[in-house]
Each structure stands twice: as structure tokens, then as C-alpha cells.
């Protein structure tokens, strides 16, 4: 009678073991299912590599083969202690690649020889050919888009150091309140400027509504020079006047026009035969005359280069009607107001 009880006990024990095994931890997903899980691939990058944490979608390329406009400028390396010409502050023409007062230091990196403008479908390029290389400087491209003599946009490259395009040190300014030039654009006014120059900063080293708006680089061909590039979309017109600049502290957006921020007495002159020689407060700066793009100049445009229109000769000098004869200095092309 005891054997049936033993068999019953063994049966219950085996049943208990089987039930415990079935009641173990929840089953995990089969290994083979994990191996079949889809792998998500990262999309290929389509943007230009980031610079200083900024992702660029586009950048300039090589300059087009053909230029659209060019302005030549005086070579001040030919005469020691003075400019060869082109320094008439009261008319907005500046040729001062020298130190102040003694003028015994010439800065070839501040002496523009040729300024050339190029254009493709997306970019406007400025190619500055300089008299030589030197320490870092500032270079600028100024646009007058409504052709009234007042600069509307100023693109500045500060200390370009590489032959690769970069937004580092590049700024774009706008004169939104139309104050550049004071009473009379380009020409000196009777009193010093009280306006704010280019007051609106649109782009600063990749910061702005368009992170790709403007770039600069050293000339990649080994020639002493700097190149700037700005998107055509910046401009409000296909017809405009342009001019270029080289300098250091004088390339200050708030000081434009420089002819209104300094009197001829304060600024001095780089011309040896001037009564205001030598240069004083305004030094280490050079600019070019202005060239037209997209229209035929009439000759009455402010700052226009010689030969751009049949009636234009920017190197000639006549006394303006509002300047008394006793205040006119023909050698400086300047009207000097006493006091």
C-alpha cells in the first residue's frame, strides 16, 4: 500500500519542477530577431564644412575668367615721403599709405594699385592688387546702389590671413538711415560730420540672417593682394557704383564719409606741394575712385573715375559755386573755411 503513495509523491515533485520552470523570467526577444533589426544610416552631409561652429551651405569659388569693371590707383612707392597724386580729401579721394606726420614709413600693403570687380551668377568679387605685402590690414568694398553718391553697403575684410575663403573677420554694414556723406556726398561739408555713417551691421563673421553672405581671402596666386566676395542678393539693384578701400583704423564704418569726419587742417595732405602737408590725423589709408556697373555714367556721379563718361574728368578741379574765391586752394582742390 505504500508504493502507490511513493509514486504519487514522485509525480507531484516532477509536476512542481515543471511548473517552476514555466513560471521563470519573461522570455526575451530571440537573438536572431535582434540581428534582423534595420540599421538607420546617417544622411550624407551636403553643406560646406562648419567654420567656428557655423554650418555654411555655399561659399565662393575661383574668380570668373573675365572681369566686369576695373579701377587703377596711384603707386605711392615711387616717391619717398609723399604721394604721387590722388590725395584730395575734400573730393573724397585719399592716397595715404604712410604713417602720420613724418611720413617716413611707407606701407605697401595699404597701397592699392588695381581694383578689379568680377561677377558670376551668385557672387560679386573684388580683387585688390597691392604694392606689396605687410602686416594685417583692413580692406573694403563700398556700393552705391541708388547712384546718389552715398554709400549704401560696406563689405569689410579685417586681417585676412589665408588663401582659403573664410568668413572670419568679414563684416557687412548698411547705411539704412541714408546719412553717409552728410549734406553733400563724397565731398567735404562746411562743418564736420554729426551723422553715424554705416550704422547697421548685417553680417559679422558668419553671424546674420545669411551665414554665407560675405567672404575674403589672400590672393591664392602669390600676388600681393586680397579678394572679397559678397552675394549679389545683398544689392537692391543691378546698376550701381563701387569703390574700394585699404587701411587700418580709418576703415571704421562710423566715420564714413571720411571727408566729413576730418577737416583738411586736421587730416593734412600727402601731397608735398600742399600747404597742409604732411598728413596728420588721417593716415594709413587708401581708396580708389568709383566705377559704374550696369549703366552708362553721365559724368555727374560723385567720386566717378576719370574717363567713365565723356564729360567727366575727376582729376580736374574747379571751384564750387558755394566756395568764395578767397577760400579756394587750387593746389589742394579744397575750400578752406576760416576758424
Residue 17, helix vs strand vs coil: helix
Q: How confident is the model at residue 169 (pLDDT cuts 50, 70, 90)?
A: very high
Q: How confident is the model at residue 319 (pLDDT cuts 50, 70, 90)?
A: low
| Residues whose CB is less than 8 angstroms from the CB of residue 62 and which lie 6 or more positions away in sequence, other chains included | none
- Judged on CB neighbours under 10 Å (0-12, 13-18, 19+), 224 is middle
- % of the chain exceeding 90 in pLDDT: 63
pLDDT single digits (tens) 254-274: 999 999 999 999 999 999 999
Q: Which residue has the higher pLDDT, 98 or 18?
A: 98
Which pLDDT score, from 0 to 100, does residue 37 have? Answer: 36
CA distance linking residue 271 with residue 82, whole number of Å: 6
Q: Are strands 334-335 and 153-158 parallel, antiparallel or unpaired?
A: unpaired
Residue 97 pLDDT > 90, yes or no?
yes
pTM of the model: 0.79
CA distance linking residue 325 with residue 148, whole number of Å: 28
pLDDT single digits (tens) 278-294: 999 999 999 999 999 99
Q: Do 177 and 196 touch, CB atoms closer than 8 A? A: yes
Residue 43 pLDDT > 60, yes or no?
no
| Residues whose CB is less than 8 angstroms from the CB of residue 243 and which lie 6 or more positions away in sequence, other chains included | 71, 115, 141, 142, 287, 288, 289, 290, 291, 303
| Residues whose CB is less than 8 angstroms from the CB of residue 318 and which lie 6 or more positions away in sequence, other chains included | none
User: What mean pLDDT comes out for the span 108-119?
Assistant: 97
Residue 53 pLDDT > 90, yes or no?
no
Reported in sequence order, the residue ranges of 136-257 that DSSP labels E, i.e. its strands, are 138-144, 153-158, 170-174, 200-204, 207-208, 214-218, 225-231, 240-247
| Residues whose CB is less than 8 angstroms from the CB of residue 21 and which lie 6 or more positions away in sequence, other chains included | none
- % of the chain exceeding 70 in pLDDT: 75
CA distance linking residue 237 with residue 239, whole number of Å: 5
Which pLDDT score, from 0 to 100, does residue 326 have? Answer: 67
CA distance linking residue 178 with residue 198, whole number of Å: 9
Which pLDDT score, from 0 to 100, does residue 281 have? Answer: 97
Which pLDDT score, from 0 to 100, does residue 11 have? Answer: 46
Q: Which residue has the higher pLDDT, 310 or 225?
A: 225
Q: Which of 90, 87, 94 is nearest to 335 (CA)?
A: 90
Helix ranges, 246-320 (H): 258-261, 264-267
Q: How confident is the model at residue 133 (pLDDT cuts 50, 70, 90)?
A: very high
Which pLDDT score, from 0 to 100, does residue 38 have? Answer: 37
User: What does DSSP assign to residue 190?
Assistant: S
Q: Which of 129, 83, 79, 71 is nearest to 285 (CA)?
A: 83
Amino acid at each position: 500500500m505504500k508504493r502507490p503513495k511513493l509514486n504519487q509523491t514522485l509525480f507531484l515533485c516532477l509536476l512542481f519542477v515543471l511548473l517552476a520552470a514555466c513560471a521563470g523570467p519573461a522570455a526575451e526577444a530571440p537573438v536572431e530577431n535582434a540581428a534582423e533589426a534595420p540599421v538607420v544610416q546617417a544622411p550624407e552631409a551636403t553643406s560646406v564644412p562648419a567654420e567656428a561652429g557655423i554650418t555654411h551651405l555655399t561659399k565662393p569659388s575661383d574668380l570668373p575668367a573675365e572681369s566686369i569693371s576695373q579701377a587703377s590707383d596711384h603707386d605711392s612707392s615711387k616717391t619717398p615721403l609723399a604721394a604721387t597724386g590722388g590725395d584730395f580729401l575734400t573730393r573724397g579721394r585719399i592716397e595715404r599709405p604712410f604713417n602720420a606726420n613724418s611720413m617716413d614709413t611707407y606701407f605697401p600693403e595699404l597701397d592699392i594699385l588695381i581694383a578689379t570687380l568680377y561677377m558670376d551668377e551668385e557672387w560679386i568679387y573684388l580683387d585688390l592688387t597691392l604694392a606689396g605685402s605687410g602686416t594685417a590690414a583692413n580692406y573694403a568694398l563700398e556700393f552705391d546702389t541708388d547712384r546718389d553718391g552715398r554709400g549704401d553697403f560696406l563689405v569689410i575684410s579685417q586681417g585676412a590671413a589665408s588663401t582659403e575663403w573664410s568668413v572670419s573677420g568679414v563684416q557687412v554694414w548698411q547705411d539704412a538711415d541714408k546719412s553717409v556723406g552728410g549734406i553733400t556726398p563724397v565731398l567735404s561739408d562746411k562743418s564736420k560730420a554729426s551723422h553715424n555713417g554705416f550704422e547697421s551691421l548685417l553680417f559679422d563673421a558668419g553671424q546674420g540672417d545669411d551665414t554665407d553672405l560675405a567672404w575674403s581671402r589672400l590672393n591664392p596666386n602669390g600676388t600681393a593682394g586680397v579678394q572679397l566676395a559678397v552675394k549679389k542678393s545683398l544689392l537692391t539693384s543691378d546698376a550701381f557704383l563701387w569703390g574700394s578701400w585699404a587701411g587700418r583704423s580709418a576703415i571704421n564704418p562710423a566715420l564714413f564719409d571720411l571727408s566729413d569726419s576730418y577737416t583738411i587742417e586736421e587730416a593734412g595732405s600727402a601731397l608735398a606741394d600742399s600747404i597742409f602737408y604732411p598728413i596728420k590725423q588721417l593716415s594709413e589709408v587708401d581708396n580708389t575712385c568709383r566705377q559704374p556697373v550696369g549703366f552708362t555714367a553721365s559724368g555727374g556721379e560723385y567720386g566717378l573715375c576719370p574717363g567713365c563718361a565723356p564729360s567727366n574728368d575727376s582729376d580736374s578741379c574747379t571751384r564750387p559755386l558755394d566756395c568764395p574765391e578767397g577760400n579756394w586752394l587750387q593746389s589742394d582742390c579744397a575750400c578752406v573755411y576760416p576758424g
